[in-house]
Amino acid sequence: MTAQLDSMYPTTVDFGTLDEIHRAARAVLPAAVFDFVEGGAGREITLRANRDAFDRWRILPDPMSGVANPSTRTSLLGRTLETPILTAPFGGDAMFHAEGHLAVARAVQRHGTLTIVPEAGSYSYEQIRAAAPDAAGIAQLHPFAHAPDVAERIYRAGYAALCVTVDCPVGGFRTRNMANRFAPDMRQFGGNLTGRDGAPGVAEVFGKLLKHGAAAWNWADLREAAALFQLPWIAKGVLTPDAAEQALAAGACAIVVSNHGGRQLDPAPASLDMLPRIRAAVGPELPILFDSGIRTGSDVFLALALGANAVVIGRAAIYGLAAAGEAGVSRVLELLTEELRTLMTLSGAATIDRIDATRLIGAQP
C-alpha cells in the first residue's frame, strides 16, 4: 500500500505567502494609512533604490553540499536568537491594529528573537516589556534633550540596550502624506510621550520635529548624553563609513545600517549598496544590523552575506500586524525564516556565520 504523502506547501494556514499578507494589509487599512506605511520621501527614489539593490546580486548554489537542516540560530549583543530577524521601532502602531506593538512583541517572543520597542509607539515601554519580556530587550529613543531621562526610564523597565535613531532631526518630506492631507490621531504616538512625569508630550516632540524646530544634535552632543546612559546603545540610521566611525567614537556598541526605509533623505544611496563599505570601515567584530527594503528570505540572506549580523523588518511586520495582529506578524517571521533556511540548504551554508560574500555573484547587466 502506498503511503499518503503530505504536501510540502501550506494548505491550512491563513496566508501562504508574504504577498498575500501585503494584499490583506492593503485591504484592511484606510488608503491614507496604507500610503503612510508604503510611501517614502520626496520622489521615492531611495525607496525604489532599496529594492533595486537586492536585484543586483545572485546566490550561488552549492550542490551536494551535505547541508540538510541548517540552523538560523545566531547571537547578538550577548543574546542568542533563533532567527536573525528583528522587528523595527515603528510608531503609531495602533493605527495598524488595536494591539499594536503588544502583538508584535508577543509574536517576536514566540520566534525567539528581539523587537526594538518604539519611543513614539501607542503603548509604553513598560507595557510592552510586560507583554513579552524575552522579546522586548531593546528600546528606541531619539537624541533630544530628554534622552538621558528616557534612557534612565528604559533602564528601570528592565531593557538590555538602547537604540538611538540618529537620522531623524526632522521628519522626511513625505509627499504621499502631503497629497493625502494625512492627519493621524497623534494619541496613537503617545504611549511614552505623555507630557507627564517629566516626559515630553507628543505635540512638543512632533511639533518641533516636523517644523524644523527641534534642536539638532551633533555627535559630540550624543557622546555627552550617552555618557549618562546605564545601558549599551545602538546607533540606528548609519549610511556612510564616516557616520559609522563617528557613532563608534560616541560610544555605540553596534549600528543599524539604514536609510529609514527611504522615508528621510531622498535621493539617498540604497542601504544594501552601502553595507559592504561600512563593514569594511568598521572591521569584522562590530555588530551590524541592517534595515531598508527587506521583503523576502533571499533579502535576509543577501544582507547577511554582505556584512550584516542580523536584519530589522519594519513594513513587513506592519503588514502582518494589519492583516492578522499577532498571528500575522508571526506568519511573516515564519515565512522569512523558512525561506532563509531553504536558501541556506541550497547554497551550502549550515549556519548563519557561513553566509558570506563568497556565496554571491553580481548579476549580469
Residue by residue, DSSP assigns 70-113 as -B--EEETTEEESSSEEE---S-GGGT-TTHHHHHHHHHHHTT-
Catalytic residue among 97, 111, 142, 260: 260
Residue 113 is placed in which grid cell? Answer: 528573537
Rounded distance between C-alpha atoms, residue 179 and residue 298, angstroms = 34
Within 8 A by CB and 6+ apart from 111, the residues are: 82, 83, 85, 330, 333, 334, 337
pLDDT of the residue at 195? 74
- The whole-number pLDDT of residue 14 equals 85
Q: Would you call 260 a catalytic residue per the annotation?
A: yes
What percentage of the chain carries pLDDT values higher than 70?
93
Segment 227-263, tens digit of pLDDT = 999 999 999 999 999 999 999 999 999 999 999 999 9
pLDDT of residue 208: 63
Residue 213 binned pLDDT confidence (cut-offs 50, 70, 90)? low
Question: What secondary structure letter does DSSP report for 201?
Answer: B
The lowest-confidence range among 22-31, 49-58, 178-187, 343-352 is 178-187
**pLDDT confidence of residue 187:** 87
Q: In the structure, what pLDDT confidence band is assigned to residue 8 with cuts at 50, 70 and 90? A: low
Mean pLDDT throughout 291-313?
Answer: 97
pLDDT digits (tens, 9 = 90+) for 138-154: 999 999 888 999 999 99
pLDDT score recorded for residue 198:
65
pLDDT above 80: residue 77: yes
Q: Is the pLDDT of residue 212 over 70?
A: no
What is the model's pLDDT at position 12? 63
Are β-strands 360-362 and 136-141 bridged in parallel, bridged antiparallel, or unpaired?
unpaired
Percent over 90 (pLDDT), the chain: 83
Element (H, E) at 50: helix 45-54
Mean pLDDT of all residues in 169-176: 89
Cα–Cα distance between 314 and 316 in angstroms, integer? 6
CB 313 within 8 A of CB 292: no
Nearest to 269 by CA among 45, 58, 55: 45
Per-chain mean pLDDT for the chain: 93
pLDDT for residue 5 is more than 80: no
Q: Which residues does residue 87 pair with via DSSP β-bridges, in sequence order?
A: 115, 313
Ramachandran assignment for 351, one of left (phi > 0), alpha (psi -120 to 50 degrees), beta (any other): beta
Instruction: Report the C-alpha dihedral over residues 39, 44, 47, 48, rounded to 10 degrees.
Output: 120
pLDDT digits (tens, 9 = 90+) for 91-146: 999 999 999 999 999 999 999 999 999 999 999 999 999 999 999 999 999 998 88
User: What's the grid cell of residue 270?
Assistant: 540604497
Q: What is the mean pLDDT of residues 33-43?
A: 96
Whole-number pLDDT of residue 334 = 96
pLDDT at 361 over 70: yes
Question: What average pLDDT score do residues 300-318 get?
Answer: 98
Q: Is residue 277 pLDDT above 90, yes or no?
A: yes
pLDDT tier at 211, thresholds 50, 70, 90: low
Residue pair 297/342 in contact by the 8 Å Cβ criterion? yes
Strands 57-59 and 360-362: antiparallel
Phi first, then psi: what are they for 351, rounded to 5°?
-135, 165
What is residue 169's predicted lDDT score, i.e. its pLDDT? 84
Cβ-Cβ contacts under 8 Å for 53 (sequence gap 6 or more): 270, 271, 272, 273, 293
Q: Could you give the dihedral angle defined by the CA atoms of residues 122, 126, 131 and 137, in that order, rounded to the nearest 10 degrees?
A: 100
Find, among 4, 258, 116, 246, the residue nearest to 104 by Cα.
116
